[in-house]
Amino acid sequence: MTPNRHDRGREAHRRGHSGEWLAAAWLLLHGWRIVGFRVRTPQGEIDLLARRGRVLAVVEVKHRRTVDEALAAVGHVQQRRLAKAAAAVCAQRVRWRNLAIRLDLIALAPRKWPVHVPDAWRMDG
């Protein structure tokens, strides 16, 4: 029996949240400190904010059937939205204004290690 649209949406939402937790754990294991989780802005939600040293990473997490699908899942419109959301968040927090801000991607797929792509997109792009 094929799941209906509502059930597929609920499953995608659940998988997305569990993927964000997995991505956060991956970052923690690699020396990052999670400073924001599902941060809401007028431009949209930021999955994770992670800091290591003088770098603040705005992390988009994508979970797909394959790592390649996850890596390709963020289009230009979403990239611009993430850049605007990052700028808005950093403008609100004085302590982050002097940090290097970058947009990262963590790609997840079943039975595969997470793939962290630092500086996946340019803030001005």
Exposed, middle or buried: residue 64 (CB in 10 Å: 0-12, 13-18, 19+)?
middle
Q: How confident is the model at residue 95 (pLDDT cuts 50, 70, 90)?
A: confident
pLDDT tens by residue, 49-62: 999 999 999 999 99
Q: How confident is the model at residue 71 (pLDDT cuts 50, 70, 90)?
A: confident
At position 50, the amino acid (one-letter code) is A
- Residues 59 and 49: beta-carbon distance below 8 Å: yes
Q: Which domains does the chain have, with CATH numbers?
A: 5-121 (3.40.1350.10)
Distance CA 77, CA 56 (A): 22
